[in-house]
């Protein structure tokens, strides 16, 4: 794993009023992009991206896809927004453990790996503002689209959503406005920020092999190789590095090899003849 570069944090909200406390908390700045409300903070070790997608499932799925296309590397994906619930008090933060679209037979169970000290609950996503609250579930308009699109780009453990209760049977959605939404989210900003960082920490545990692959590929830059030869050499070189070999020695072998076949044979033989160096585990 690369020590200096941490995983990215990708945050998606439907509304700017939901995003505002997060923009302030993470000191994000608006990026000059036409058609998308995109905020970011490019810290030295971690990039935070936030997209305000607009209301509804199509807008959310579009926002996820847009952000995925724009970023690279491992990332934690976090949907933060407001939702209605029949009985929970306003401003209660609830991590989504299960999410289903209104018409869907089967929903998505969210793996709850990263720590969350608060409540967890079910979320039902519909196409309209909900005034007839579902039994024992939050109601929103984006959640199911967020999950189904974001898990195409990251392991499900890194795709999470926290909903803040914005309306209930006592205080209906008609009493809601942007100021109140911002207030409810801001009340939970500390907890949301901690959760986001624990997700990034989790994402950091994914293997980051890009640097090694790049270094190994550079060994062969002077050779004329078929795609298959290139893949085989890269595989064998990486395996040798895993077993205690070093890049310089491999480079010398590449330079002195008679041809590609002899190099392949030599490296294969090395892996068969030299037991690997016992090393401590990585986690």
Partner 1 sequence: MDRPKTQTILERHQRAEHIVIEHYGEVFNSHAQNFRLQKQNPALILAEKQNRRVIATPAQYETGGGANYYFSHMLNCLYDCRYCFLQGMYRSANYLLFVNYEDFVTDIAAVAAEHKADKNPPWFFSGYDCDSLALEPVTGFAEYFLDAFANMPHAVLELRTKSTQVRSLLNRSAIDNAVVAFSLSPANVAESLEIGAPSLDKRLQAMQKLQGAGWRVGVRFDPVVWHQGWEASYAELVEQVFNVLDASTIDSISLGGFRLPKGYYKTMRKLYPEHWLFSAGLAESNGMVAYETEIEASMFETISNQIADHIATENLFVYYSNELTAENQSATAG
Chain residues binding partner 1 by CB under 8 A are 1, 97-98, 106, 108-109, 111-115, 120, 151-152, 155-159, 202, 205-207, 209, 212, 238-240, 242-244, 271-272, 274-283
Nearer to partner 1, 242 or 256 (CB): 242
Nearer to partner 1, 26 or 116 (CB): 116
Nearer to partner 1, 178 or 244 (CB): 244
Q: d(Cα 213, Cα 210) in Å, to the nearest integer?
A: 5
- Smallest distance from the beta carbon of 239 to partner 1, in angstroms? 4
- Smallest distance from the beta carbon of 159 to partner 1, in angstroms? 8
Nearer to partner 1, 3 or 255 (CB): 3
Nearer to partner 1, 152 or 265 (CB): 152
- Smallest distance from the beta carbon of 69 to partner 1, in angstroms? 19
- Smallest distance from the beta carbon of 113 to partner 1, in angstroms? 5
Whether the Cβ atoms of residue 37 and residue 16 lie closer than 8 Å to each other: yes
Whether the Cβ atoms of residue 197 and residue 126 lie closer than 8 Å to each other: no
The most distant pair of C-alpha atoms in the chain lies apart, rounded to whole Å, by 81
- Smallest distance from the beta carbon of 242 to partner 1, in angstroms? 4
Other CB atoms closer than 10 Å to residue 151's CB: what's the count? 17
Nearer to partner 1, 172 or 276 (CB): 276
Reading the block at residue 131, the tokens are 């005034």
In sequence order, what are the residues at sequence separation of 6 or more whose Cβ sits closer than 8 angstroms to the Cβ of residue 235? none
- Smallest distance from the beta carbon of 177 to partner 1, in angstroms? 33
Phi, psi at 49, each rounded to 5°: -120, 140
Whether the Cβ atoms of residue 196 and residue 156 lie closer than 8 Å to each other: no
Burial code of 91-127, b = ≥16 C-beta within 10 A, e = fewer? bbbbbbbebbbeeeeebbebeeebebeeeebbbbbbe
Segment (H or E) for 10:
strand 8-13
- Smallest distance from the beta carbon of 149 to partner 1, in angstroms? 12
- Smallest distance from the beta carbon of 189 to partner 1, in angstroms? 23
Calculate the alpha carbon distances from 65 to 12, 60, 161 in Å: 11, 9, 17
Nearer to partner 1, 10 or 240 (CB): 240
- DSSP per position, 69-94: HH--S-EEEEEEEEEE-SSSPTT-EE
Q: d(Cα 145, Cα 126) in Å, to the nearest integer?
A: 10
Nearer to partner 1, 36 or 264 (CB): 264
């Amino acid at each position: 794993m690369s020590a200096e570069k941490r995983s990215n944090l990708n945050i998606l909200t439907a509304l700017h009023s939901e995003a505002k406390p997060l923009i302030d908390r993470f000191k994000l700045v608006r990026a000059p992009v036409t058609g998308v409300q995109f905020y970011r903070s490019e810290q030295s070790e971690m990039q935070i991206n936030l997209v305000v997608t607009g209301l509804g499932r199509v807008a959310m799925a579009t926002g996820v896809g847009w952000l995925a296309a724009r970023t690279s590397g491992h990332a934690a994906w976090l949907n933060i927004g407001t939702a209605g619930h029949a009985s929970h008090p306003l401003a209660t933060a609830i991590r989504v453990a299960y999410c289903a679209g209104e018409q869907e037979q089967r929903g998505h169970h969210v793996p709850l790996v990263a720590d969350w000290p608060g409540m967890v609950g079910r979320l039902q996503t519909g196409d309209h503002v909900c005034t007839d609250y579902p039994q024992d579930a939050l109601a929103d308009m984006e959640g199911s689209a967020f999950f189904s699109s974001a898990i195409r780009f990251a392991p499900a453990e890194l795709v999470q959503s926290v909903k803040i209760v914005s309306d209930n049977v006592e205080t209906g959605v008609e009493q809601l406005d942007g100021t109140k939404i911002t207030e409810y989210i801001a009340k939970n900003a500390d907890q949301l920020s901690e959760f986001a960082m624990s997700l990034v920490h989790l994402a950091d545990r994914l293997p980051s092999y890009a640097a090694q692959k790049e270094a190994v590929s550079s060994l062969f830059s002077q050779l004329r190789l078929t795609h298959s030869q290139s893949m085989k050499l890269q595989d064998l070189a990486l395996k040798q590095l895993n077993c205690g070999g070093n890049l310089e020695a491999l480079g010398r072998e590449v330079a002195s090899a008679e041809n590609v076949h002899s190099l392949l044979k030599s490296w294969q033989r090395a892996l068969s003849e030299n037991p690997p160096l016992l090393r401590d585990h990585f986690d």
